Amino acid sequence: MIPPNAFRMLLCCCLALLAACGDRQGDLGRREGRNPQPVELLLLDDGRPDPSVLAAEQVVYRGNGEEPQTLDPHRAVGVPSSHILRDLFEGLTNEASDGDVIPGAALRWNISRDARTYTFYLRRDLVWSNGEPLTAQDFVYSLRRAANPETAATSANMLLPIQNAREVLAGTMEPEELGISLLDDYTLQITLTGPTPYFLGLLTHPVAYPVNRSNVEEFGELFSRPGNLVSNGAYLLKDWKPRVQIELEKNPLFREADQTLIERVFYYPIEDLATEVKAFRSGEIDWTNEVPNNQFRWLQQNYPGELVVSPWMGSYFFGFNLTQEPFIDNPSLRMALILAIDREIITEKVTQFGEKPSFALVPPGIDGYVPFSPEYADWTQAERNHEARRLLEQAGYSPEDPLLIEIRYNTSDNHKKIALAIASMWKQTLGVNATLVNEEFRVFLQNREQKVITQVFRAGWISDYNDPYSFLELFRTGHGRNDYGYSNSSFDALLDEVGTERVRARRERLMFEAERVLMSDHVIIPIYTYVTKRLVNPHLRGWENNVMDHHQTRYMFLLRSRTAQDVAAQAPEPAPESEGEARAAVSDDAEAPLPVDTENEAEPAAIGVPAAEEVAPGPPDSEAAAPAEDEPAEGGAR
């Protein structure tokens, strides 16, 4: 077998994605031919796995999409960084493997009758990874730091339910005036502006994680680098090779270190989905961040036990830059482009993962909320196209004077295919000439935030907590994630009312009205609601589907591979046989040739090439190899 480090070195040279990270030894269930299989899971009385079924090496290798910009929990942006931060830190509350909110650093809490005051009681045995005691003062400092405008926390607006947070974020009050009080070393109190049903879930977000004050003050912006970072989660930051890998190791001082089985976890920023699938098939990673559209059907047939598809609390959409031409003060043009997209073709012919077409921002499935649906959602596509042509003409464009625009997206085969489909639909229906611009994730985020060169850009949002407000707050005037330049005082006022409303039904009506206002302003182009789709090593257990798609490594473990002894032990007791049958069986066995073990004798001949015993051919490597039916060609979309 080709050593794992050689595999990663070659990928790093070719794609600048992976590099050597040491040999991977042990029975981790290499997937050549998907043999051997894991043993059956045996649990002890306390619910933990029996040590006899565990793999000798408890190391997990994880595909993680894009490269994180930072591991400062208050300044991090994007899903990839959040995956890592959930391993490195723990907030006052935490999430179980199924996504439910559970006690974290706080052992318990009390909520006042008016639901505005939360009192948290910390565990008494908490320490930082450097051995220093972790106290309530650390959370007071950290929440004030996250709200301080000088920190430039991208998710600071999530703290708006806290009393005086709006004024602190605006710089008109000092961070010390934030509604947080230290009662004693292990007790803190947080006062809210009004009832906030999702507040405990909000505290599981990285913006509410504690950071070590002396650590931040000593190293400044470099405090989150390897060798510097002091954290309080189940894992420590051991190494970070930019664009190659991030390595975490088990934190022996974590409060549940004795229950944490995975010793190390590697995160790989593999943006190319076909490369990620190859890495999974060759046993180099234990789960993928995603899978390519054009390989989905092949994977369904050949990896049915490893392919996992589940609902996700998120929406996929494109955004308009409302601060630049041609979309500033031009709602007719924006609406024309929104209408001229056939979402059913995208979900049925392009993505093909079971996504549902979307016409609004908030996805279905959030507790107690019925999302807004615009009138055009009930139209036929022909009716939408007819209205789109009328609005385009009203906006001042025609076949003689066509609209020229750019669609920006971050590196991903799936994003590219969707952008191609949209560009093709706009060309066919409206005569719009759209140019696709692909950018590396960091550059893409920077350009979105600066709002200088963007016109139409790939967007989307995965909920931070189980509440519509997680989606709506992104469009508040001045929000750190408002890359659209959207500002509407009526919308902002509705969100203010949401923050103070105590009656749940009224609060939901206010959020519905806020979503209606937003969608009537034509700020985004809804495409579909998300599902997650990835490959997961069957040896990896403790990994559970949940609508938040949050998977902390500390809940996981690896089963060892099944051996011949395991198979024999599970075989049923043979029925008694007569003396004559026994003699005949011995005679037959003596004459029969020994079976040839073809399952495991062959090794892969080259990087990314399946082992010889794999009967099924590999999946297509590119969209050209297996285009989706009716998929728009790249040339026609430009």
3-state secondary structure 70-89: CCCCCCCCCHHHHHHHHHHC
Domain shared by 132 and 280, yes or no: no
Amino acid at 364: P
Domain shared by 526 and 621, yes or no: no
Classify residue 34: in a domain, yes or no. Answer: yes
pLDDT at 154 over 90: no
Average pLDDT of the residues in 50-64: 95
Classify residue 637: in a domain, yes or no. Answer: no
Over residues 28-46, the pLDDT tens digits come to 344 443 446 898 888 888 8
pLDDT at 276 over 50: yes
pLDDT at 195 over 80: yes
Domain end position, chosen among 181, 205, 232: 232
User: What CATH number should be reported for the domain holding residue 161?
Assistant: 3.90.76.10
Contact 35, 567 (CB under 8 A): no
Domain shared by 382 and 494, yes or no: yes
Average pLDDT of the residues in 187-208: 94
Classify residue 579: in a domain, yes or no. Answer: no
The more confidently predicted of residues 11 and 409 is 409
Average pLDDT of the residues in 255-275: 96
Over residues 422-445, the pLDDT tens digits come to 999 999 999 999 999 999 998 999
Domain count along the chain: 3
Lowest mean pLDDT segment, chosen from 245-249, 366-370, 379-383: 366-370
Domain shared by 108 and 154, yes or no: yes
Over residues 468-518, the pLDDT tens digits come to 999 999 999 999 899 999 999 999 999 989 877 878 899 999 999 999 999
pLDDT at 4 over 50: no
Looking at the chain, the whole-number percentage of residues with pLDDT higher than 90 is: 68
| Other beta carbons less than 10 A from residue 14's beta carbon | 13
Lowest mean pLDDT segment, chosen from 246-255, 316-325, 357-366: 357-366
Domain shared by 517 and 396, yes or no: yes
Task: Report pLDDT for 36.
Answer: 66
Lowest mean pLDDT segment, chosen from 98-107, 501-510, 614-623: 614-623
Contact 16, 243 (CB under 8 A): yes
Domain shared by 454 and 392, yes or no: yes
β-pairing, 404-410 vs 433-439, is parallel
Environment class of 441 (CB within 10 Å of its CB; exposed 0-12, middle 13-18, buried 19+): buried
Task: Report pLDDT for 429.
Answer: 97
Classify 294 in phi/psi space as left (phi over 0), alpha (psi -120 to 50) or beta: alpha
The more confidently predicted of residues 428 and 12 is 428
Domain shared by 343 and 377, yes or no: yes
Average pLDDT of the residues in 294-316: 92
Q: How confident is the model at residue 9 (pLDDT cuts 50, 70, 90)?
A: very low
pLDDT at 624 over 50: no
Give Rg (Cα) of the chain: 27
Classify residue 520: in a domain, yes or no. Answer: yes
Rounding to the nearest 10 degrees, give the CA dihedral for residues 275, 276, 278, 282: 140
| Other beta carbons less than 10 A from residue 134's beta carbon | 23
Q: How confident is the model at residue 465 (pLDDT cuts 50, 70, 90)?
A: confident
Domain end position, chosen among 215, 232, 249: 232
Task: Please give the span between the terminal C-alpha atoms of the chain, in angstroms, as a whole number.
Answer: 44
Give the whole-angstrom CA distance, residue 520 versus residue 298: 41
**Max Cα–Cα distance, the chain, nearest Å:** 97
Classify residue 596: in a domain, yes or no. Answer: no
Give the whole-angstrom CA distance, residue 206 versus residue 75: 9
Classify residue 573: in a domain, yes or no. Answer: no
Q: How confident is the model at residue 16 (pLDDT cuts 50, 70, 90)?
A: very low
pLDDT at 116 over 90: yes
Task: Report pLDDT for 121.
Answer: 99
Average pLDDT of the residues in 35-58: 87
User: What CATH number should be reported for the domain holding residue 33?
Assistant: 3.40.190.10
Domain end position, chosen among 212, 232, 252: 232
Domain shared by 408 and 442, yes or no: yes
Domain shared by 223 and 250, yes or no: no
Give the whole-angstrom CA distance, residue 462 versus residue 536: 21
Q: CA of 542: how far to CAs of 459, 536, 545, 555, 616, in Å?
A: 31, 11, 10, 5, 29
Average pLDDT of the residues in 171-181: 98
Contact 135, 170 (CB under 8 A): no
Domain shared by 458 and 383, yes or no: yes
Q: How confident is the model at residue 572 (pLDDT cuts 50, 70, 90)?
A: low
DSSP 531-576: EEEEEB-TTEES----TT----GGG-EEBPBP-HHHHHHHSPPPPP
Give the whole-angstrom CA distance, residue 290 versus residue 65: 8
Classify residue 85: in a domain, yes or no. Answer: no
Among 413, 409, 150, 170, smallest CA distance to 289 is for 413
Q: How confident is the model at residue 587 (pLDDT cuts 50, 70, 90)?
A: very low
Looking at the chain, the whole-number percentage of residues with pLDDT higher than 70 is: 82
Task: Report pLDDT for 246.
Answer: 98
Classify residue 591: in a domain, yes or no. Answer: no
Task: Report pLDDT for 348.
Answer: 92
Average pLDDT of the residues in 398-410: 93
User: What CATH number should be reported for the domain holding residue 528?
Assistant: 3.10.105.10
Average pLDDT of the residues in 556-577: 66
Reduced to 3 states, what is the DSSP secondary structure of residue 111? Answer: strand
Domain containing residue 510: 312-533
Task: Report pLDDT for 2.
Answer: 39
Contact 175, 159 (CB under 8 A): no
- Whose tokens are 């923050």? That residue is 499
pLDDT at 570 over 60: no
Domain shared by 180 and 208, yes or no: yes
Reduced to 3 states, what is the DSSP secondary structure of residue 417? Answer: helix
Reduced to 3 states, what is the DSSP secondary structure of residue 105? Answer: coil
Average pLDDT of the residues in 340-365: 93
Domain shared by 361 and 475, yes or no: yes
Classify 354 in phi/psi space as left (phi over 0), alpha (psi -120 to 50) or beta: left
